[in-house]
Amino acid sequence: MNAFLTTAIFDPIRIPLDRWIADFVNWLSFNYRPTFQAMKRPIEVILQGVDGLLQATPPIVFIALLALLAWRVAGPKVGLFTVVAMTLVGMMGLWTQTMTTLSMVLAAVLVCVVIGVPVGILAARSDRFAAGLRPVLDVMQTTPAFVYLVPVVMLFSIGTVAGVIATIIFALPPLVRLTNLGIRGVPDDVVEAAEAFGSSEREILFKVRMPLAMPTIMAGVNQTIMLALSMVVIAAMIGAAGLGVPVVEGLNALRIGVAGIGGVAIVLLAIVLDRITQAIGEGGRRGRS
C-alpha cells in the first residue's frame, strides 16, 4: 500500500513530547520540590482547621445547624431533606469520612474563591489577559485528572492535601469564567452612574460590580463545589481520605456494597450542598428582577 495513505506518513518526524513532559516534571520535582512542599502548607492548615472543627462537632449539632442554614436560605423542603440525608449518611457508618470529604471540599472551594475571583475580575478588566487566560482554563478543565495525578504526587507527595490540590486544579476554571462573565455583565449605565457620583475604581468594584455580579459568581461557586465533589474518588487514589476511600477500596476488592454506600453518601452530600448554594445565588438574583 502507498505509504502516503497510512500512518507511515508520520514516520520521518517523531515528536518526543512524552519524553519532554517526563523530563520537565522530573526536573521540576528534582529542583523545586521544597517550593511545592511549602505551597502545600497553607492548604494543609486550612484543611486541618476545617476538618478538626467538623470532626469535633457532635453530629446532632452539625445536622441541626446545617438544616437550619438550608431552611433559612432554601426553604423548609431543603431543610428537611438535609436532616434526612445527613442522618442516612451517619447511619451508613460514614459520618467521619463525610466530614473529611466536606472539609476537603470546603478547603478546595475556599482556595478556589481566593484565587478564582480576583483572577476572574482581572480577566473582566483586560481583554488581553482574558484571551491569554482562556487556553489555560481550557487545559485545566479538559485534561483528564488521571493525567496530572502522577505529577501532583511527584511534586506534593501523596495524601489528602495532594488530593485537595488536584481538586483545586479541576474545580477552579468555572469560577474564574463565571466571575469574568458576571463582572462584564454589569450594565454600563449603572457603572456610569456610580462614576458620575465620584466613585473611585475601588468603590465601583466593591459597591457596584461585585454585588451586581454576585448571582453569577455564586453560580460559579456552586459549579466549583460540584466539581470538587466529583474529584473525591479520584483524590482517594492518591491517598486522600474521606468518602472516596470506601469507593476505591470497594473497587479494588470488588466489594460492591462498600463502594455503593460511598457513592450514595457522596450523592447525598452533593445534593445538599447544591441546593443550599444555588438558593444563595438565586437569593441575590431575586433582588435584581
Partner 1 sequence: MIHVDDLTKIFGPNPDAALCMLDDGHGKDAIREATGHVLGVNGASFELERGEFFVIMGLSGSGKSTLLRCLNRLVPFTRGRVLVGPAGEQVDVGTASARELREIRTRRMSMVFQRFGLLPHRSVRDNVAYGLEIQGVARSEREARSEEVLEMVGLGGWGPSRTSELSGGMQQRVGLARAIATDAEVLLMDEPFSALDPLIKMQMQDEMIRLQRQLGRTIVFITHDLDEALRLGDRIAIMDDGTIVQIGSPERIITEPGTAYVADFVEHADPTHVITARTVAVDLDHERVGVARRVGDVTFHSHVAQSDVEIGVDRDGRVVEVVADGARARIEALDRVLEEDAPAFRYRDRAVWVRGDATLRRLLDARTYVNLPVIVQDEDGRLIGLVTERELIHGIVEKRGHGVRSPAASASASAPRPLDVASVEPHAIGRHA
Cβ(58)–Cβ(96) under 8 Å? no
Whole-number minimum distance, CB 209 to partner 1, in Å?
11
Whole-number minimum distance, CB 87 to partner 1, in Å?
37
Whole-number minimum distance, CB 220 to partner 1, in Å?
18
Between vectors from CA 85 to CA 80 and to CA 86, what angle results, nearest 5°? Answer: 100
Whole-number minimum distance, CB 118 to partner 1, in Å?
21
Closer to partner 1 by CB, 25 or 210: give it.
210
Closer to partner 1 by CB, 133 or 217: give it.
217
All three cell numbers of 29, joined, read: 520535582
CA distance 106 to 44: 12
Region of 158 (left: φ > 0; alpha: ψ -120 to 50; beta: rest) is beta
Closer to partner 1 by CB, 19 or 202: give it.
202
φ/ψ of residue 58, rounded to 5: -60, 135
Closer to partner 1 by CB, 168 or 212: give it.
212
Residues in Cβ contact with 277 at an 8 Å cutoff, skipping those fewer than 6 apart: 218, 221, 222, 225
All three cell numbers of 117, joined, read: 475571583
Whole-number minimum distance, CB 288 to partner 1, in Å?
5
Whole-number minimum distance, CB 217 to partner 1, in Å?
13
CA distance 93 to 112: 30
All three cell numbers of 281, joined, read: 445565588
Closer to partner 1 by CB, 108 or 212: give it.
212
Whole-number minimum distance, CB 204 to partner 1, in Å?
10
Closer to partner 1 by CB, 87 or 199: give it.
199
Q: What is the identity of the amino acid at 234?
A: I
User: Using CB under 8 A as the criterion, which residues of the chain lie in contact with partner 1 when the complex forms?
Assistant: 189-190, 192-200, 203, 207-208, 211-212, 214, 284, 287-289
Neighbouring C-beta atoms of residue 197, cutoff 10 Å: 8
Calculate the CA 136 to chain-centre distance.
Answer: 16
Closer to partner 1 by CB, 46 or 214: give it.
214
Cβ(272)–Cβ(85) under 8 Å? yes
